[in-house]
């Protein structure tokens, strides 16, 4: 049992969620509250941490911010209504965030010596819809190796 606890603590460190986990423990201070409609991420998340997470989403899904967020202008500068929930993809992303956290804390954390955690990239790999076709098996090495 102790083993499991130690490993899950380690996995939290490895998953890069430490900052978020630590912030969850502190009550939000009014001057930390940059954002208005967070339902999954901690209310007092630092702007840099939030933006890093958002950039991770765009890379993992191969999309831009407007895939999930309402764009209010294209010129002279792209602007968005980030707190708006008008786009259903944003809610889909919340479901996915909760799912991914659960996969890691309830399942991956129980695998002894797991060396990684599940992220959006694990499934999406640059696409909004994960691959459904397994990739071709690796060709048998010619000459049987040395």
User: Contact, 45 vs 29, CB < 8 A?
Assistant: no
Of the pair 37, 112, the CB lying nearest ligand HEC is at 37
The separation between the first and the last C-alpha atoms of the chain, rounded to the nearest angstrom, is 44
Contact positions vs ligand HEC (CB under 6 A): 35-41, 50-51, 54-55, 57-58, 61, 63, 65, 67-69, 82-83, 89-90, 92-94, 96-97, 100, 118, 120, 122-124, 128-130
- Min. distance of Cβ 46 from ligand HEC in angstroms? 12
User: Contact, 45 vs 35, CB < 8 A?
Assistant: yes
Residue 32: closest CA among 20, 41, 43, 19? 43
Phi/psi at 42 (5° precision): -65, 140
- Min. distance of Cβ 31 from ligand HEC in angstroms? 15
Of the pair 23, 58, the CB lying nearest ligand HEC is at 58
- Min. distance of Cβ 1 from ligand HEC in angstroms? 27
**If phi over 0 gives left and psi between -120 and 50 gives alpha, with beta otherwise, what is residue 84?**
beta
Of the pair 5, 72, the CB lying nearest ligand HEC is at 72
Of the pair 19, 65, the CB lying nearest ligand HEC is at 65
């Amino acid at each position: 049992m102790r083993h499991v606890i130690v490993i899950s603590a380690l996995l939290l460190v490895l998953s890069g969620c430490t900052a978020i986990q630590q912030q969850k423990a502190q009550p939000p201070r009014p001057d930390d509250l940059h954002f208005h409609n967070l339902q999954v991420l901690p209310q007092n998340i630092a702007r840099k941490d939030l933006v890093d997470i958002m950039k991770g989403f765009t890379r993992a899904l191969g999309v831009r911010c407007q895939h999930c967020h309402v764009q209010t202008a294209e010129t002279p500068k792209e602007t968005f209504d980030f707190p708006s929930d008008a786009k259903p993809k944003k809610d889909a992303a919340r479901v996915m965030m909760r799912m991914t956290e659960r996969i890691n804390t309830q399942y991956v954390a129980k695998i002894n010596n797991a060396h990684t955690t599940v992220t959006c990239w694990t499934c999406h790999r640059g696409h909004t819809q994960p691959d459904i076709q397994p990739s071709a098996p690796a060709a048998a090495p010619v000459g049987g190796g040395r």
